[in-house]
Amino acid sequence: MSRFKAKKTKESPGINTSSLPDIIFMLLFFFMVSTTMREVTVRVKQKMPEATEIQKLERKSLVSFIYIGEPKNSKLYGTNARIQLNDVFANVDDIQEFVAQERQARDEADRKLITTSLKVDGDTKMGIVTDVKQELRKAGAFKINYSTRKKIDKN
């Protein structure tokens, strides 16, 4: 009778963790594939306006960004809206050179397809945006994208 009671099975068995690396690797690969590294530190305020008729920007490697807005560090740079190209503040006159640089960095075949994404803070006045657009026209960068967030439709 008591022969089968000899084993004590009160302790709960340990969880098998041998497949843990596989699970972690799976997550790792997901993040590795979906990641895009941040290349620039944005130094201006960026509260994008909302819109409903938006399109996704495709082929991120063909997009160059221009940031416009009030500097985050307003004690140092004041509260007037500024243009940021790459990592530094710039003037309107620098845009043509910036466009030329961006073109140089791409393959010859892709140069026509470059889109300039205007990341403009919603509280900015249109004056500076108009100036930037005029410079882009002069530089021949006609494809632009007003960066906006998706508005949640209430209807």
Partner 1 sequence: MARKAAPEINAGSMADIAFLLLIFFLVTTTMDVDTGITRKLPPPVEKPDEDVDVKERNVLKVLLNSRNDLMVDGKRMDISLLKDKTKEFMALHPDNPDYPEVTTRYIEELGRDVPVSKGIISLKNDRGTSYNMYIQVQNELARAFNEMKDEKSMELFGMKYTALLDKDKIKAINKIIPVRVSEAEPEDIGGN
Q: Which residues are at the interface with partner 1 (CB under 8 A)? A: 17, 20-21, 24-25, 27-28, 31-32, 34-38, 49, 51-57, 60, 63, 115, 117-118, 120-127, 129-130, 133-134, 136-138, 140-150
Question: What b-and-e string marks burial along 5-16, b requiring 16 or more CB atoms within 10 Å of the CB?
Answer: eeeeeeeeeeee
> Rounded distance, CA 141 to CA 143, Å?
6
Smallest gap from residue 21 Cβ to partner 1 (A): 4
**Comparison of 76 and 152: residue with beta carbon closer to partner 1:** 152
Query: Is residue 90 within 8 Å of 43, Cβ to Cβ?
Result: no
The token pair at 96 is: 């043509």
**Comparison of 83 and 141: residue with beta carbon closer to partner 1:** 141
**Comparison of 9 and 17: residue with beta carbon closer to partner 1:** 17
Smallest gap from residue 90 Cβ to partner 1 (A): 18
**Comparison of 85 and 147: residue with beta carbon closer to partner 1:** 147
Smallest gap from residue 58 Cβ to partner 1 (A): 9
Helices 95-104, 126-139: axis angle to 10 degrees equals: 50
Smallest gap from residue 73 Cβ to partner 1 (A): 21
Cα separation values, 50 from 54, 57, 103, 146, 154, Å: 9, 16, 30, 11, 13
